[in-house]
Amino acid sequence: MSDQSTPDAVSSPEAAAKGGFSRRRLLGTAGATGLALGAAGGAAGYAAAPNDESGAPAAPLSSVGSDAVMFHGKHQPGITTALQARGHLVAFDLAAGAGRKEAAALLRRWSATAQRLMAGEPAAQDDTDVARDAGPSSLTVTFGFGHSFFARTGLEKQRPVALDPLPDFSSDHLDKARSNGDLWVQIGANDALVAFHALRAVQKDAGSAARVRWQMNGFNRSPGATGRPMTARNLMGQIDGTRNPKPSESDFDRRVFVPAAGEPAWMANGSYAVVRRIRMLLDGWEKLSPTAQEDVIGRKKATGAPLSGGTETTPMDLDKTDADGNLVVPINAHARITRPDQNGGAAMLRRPFSFHDGIDTDGVPDAGLLFVCWQADPVRGFVPVQRKLDRGDALSTFVRHESSGLFAVPGGAATGEYVGQRLLEG
């Protein structure tokens, strides 16, 4: 986990009342991935019949249901898109005997399906009707390649250096069966049925070309659940993500995306995703007093403000001391350790989901964070921060890293292209 925030998009009351959205929301949701669109045209046709059973005009979609994100664009969707209420992460391994040709055909199918579903349309083949009656609900589908993919497809010379395996960390308790993979898919939406519909479609499209290696389910707070836009809270009850880089910052693209002239060429405008399943040891955490929890994080639990004073967005004063000369923000506080200026400027765009996979037989919840972070180079982004956390983060006592993956996520597909085409047909 890290002290960073994902940008949010907010519709106006007038737009919500009309079942549409404001220009502000349109631009805010678009980010660097492309425009966010209302569910007009094909989307509306799938979401609801023109008339209800009585013959009266059907009610328009709510603003949540009508929001759509474009599939085609400079960057893949699901990177700068606002946090979604429901998410699925799934990794695939190519089937025995499948290679570059089969992988290209699979990415072509996946891209075509993602484009349709993100527009609120049914899958082209054997649609399950799970998402019938719903609009696109900000659905995004994002595709990436793991380290092993390149040997399986004979493309070792095209494998980026930045995709070298992550180093071992002392906090790792990794399950290899739930780590890595040839291919990775991230699905997010603001409706659980829309998200599951996409997951099922992706799985069916894999056919005989690939099999599921692992799959994880996550969630976030639903849009509109709070009276005003807020940084998300995690399952520890902490505001989580205050210092996330924002697209409006001048160095955002440099930190998050591979430059257009970067290497390898097929990764232009792409990014690298680090994926970690981080279990929160909630029983121990919840035994701490609120003050002790705040000392672990370095921020006020209620407001997210730094312990040195101010509001959530006030810069943290790392040198401030109390009347006894003690640092107000403890030396091992999580927020202190993860600050970019304490890590040589290392920064990453965090876009996580919470998870809860039941309660163990001893009554302990299997819950925590599906940590997903994006950066132009993980060696300069995730790795130095995690190494520093390994050396003395107060939060490490209450979390356990149980699975890990690193994936190269190419730039967005142009109209008429599929994701990864420049790699697979280059």
Looking at the annotation, which residues are catalytic? 240
Six token digits for residue 290: 């609120």
How many whole angstroms separate alpha carbon 304 and alpha carbon 395? Answer: 16
Which of 33-65 are b and which e, b meaning 16 or more Cβ less than 10 Å from the residue's Cβ? bbebbbbeeebbebbbeeeeeeeeeeebbbbbb
Q: Which ranges constitute the DSSP H helices of 58-187?
A: 63-66, 100-118, 147-152
How many whole angstroms separate alpha carbon 174 and alpha carbon 402? Answer: 4
Looking at residue 84, the DSSP 8-state letter turns out to be -
Cβ-proximal residues to 161 (8 Å cutoff; 6+ apart), any chain: none
How many whole angstroms separate alpha carbon 401 and alpha carbon 187? Answer: 22
Residue 224, classed as helix, strand or coil, is coil
Q: By the 8 A CB rule, do 68 and 41 touch?
A: no
Q: By the 8 A CB rule, do 346 and 384 touch?
A: yes
Cβ-proximal residues to 420 (8 Å cutoff; 6+ apart), any chain: 103, 104, 107, 143, 145, 266, 410
How many whole angstroms separate alpha carbon 48 and alpha carbon 409? Answer: 34
How many whole angstroms separate alpha carbon 304 and alpha carbon 93? Answer: 40
